[in-house]
Structure 1
Amino acid sequence: MAASESDQDPIEEDVRVSSLEERLEKAQNRDRIRTGHANKGPDKNYRLGARVLGLLIGGVAGGFIVGFGLDSWLGTTPIFLLLFFFVGIGTAFWSIYRISSQPVGDIGTAISDEDDQGLS
């Protein structure tokens, strides 16, 4: 009869390996700090730029898609496409204006979750 795996003692972790891992992590952290590549996420300006770009693309694309859909559904000329295209552009510009009119310290919180539910 073969011995089952539960009868065997698990292999304990070697102290030398854990010590080596700790020293390696410390050395990597020192190297990141020395070269200036600490674990930095995107800064405020990058996030704000991405947000503005998203508003521009989303407003224009959303207006275009809604207008095109209405024109296709109603069988009209591109009147709704043009109308909602310009409404999307206006909405994007209005949102960007609201962000830019905030004080510098509050720009990251220019549009709260309540504002995302509808226009103020």
Structure 2
Amino acid sequence: MAENEPWQDPRLPEDARLTSLEKRLKQAQLEDAARSGRNDKASHKGRSQGMRILSDLVGIPFGSALIGWLIDGWLGTRPWVMLALLFLGFGIAVRNVLWIARQRPE
């Protein structure tokens, strides 16, 4: 019978081999992170930049098209102002993405 089965009594002492394995695994992960120069803070900033790029590419054109649609309804010029603001929104989104891409994720 294996010692770490799910139905094992939780009051029994922990297996020394498992504790040793966990310590060695933690040490190996720390050494790997130090060797590769990675840390969790850099990965979080990179993820944050990616989400910002995604939201800019979707939100800015959508918001500008919505504003253009409202202005078109008010002026009665459908769909010209909406199209103009949609393309302006894409241009602004691309400019923001290029600006974000120049920043280092560290």
Give your verdict on TM over 0.5.
Answer: yes
TM-score by length of 2: 0.56
Q: Which residue number in structure 2 is paired with residue 25 of structure 1?
A: none
CA distance in 2, matches of 1:50, 1:76: 35
Deviation at 1:101, TM superposition (A): 2.4
Deviation at 1:99, TM superposition (A): 1.4
CA distance in 1, matches of 2:82, 2:58: 16
> Over aligned residues, Cα RMSD in angstroms?
2.8
Q: What amino acid is aligned across from residue 62 of structure 1 in structure 2? A: G
Q: Which residue number in structure 2 is paired with residue 77 of structure 1?
A: 78
Q: What amino acid is aligned across from residue 101 of structure 1 in structure 2? A: R
Q: Which residue number in structure 1 is paired with residue 15 of structure 2?
A: none
Q: Which aligned segments of 4 or more residues in structure 1 are displaced greater than 2 angstroms?
A: none
Q: Which moved more, 1:77-86 or 1:41-50?
A: 41-50
What do the CA deviations read for 1:25-69 (whole angstroms, capped 9, x no partner)? xxxxx8xx96x8xxx787122111101011111111111111101
Q: Which residue number in structure 2 is paired with residue 44 of structure 1?
A: 45
How many residues are treated as equivalent by the alignment?
Answer: 73
Q: What amino acid is aligned across from residue 96 of structure 2 in structure 1? A: S
Q: Identity, % of aligned pairs?
A: 30
Correspondence 1:63 to 2:64 = yes
Q: In terms of Rg, which structure is larger?
A: 1
Structure 1 residues not aligned, in runs of 5+: 1-29, 109-120
SS of 1:77 mapped into structure 2: coil
CA distance in 2, matches of 1:50, 1:101: 15
CA distance in 2, matches of 1:89, 1:62: 10
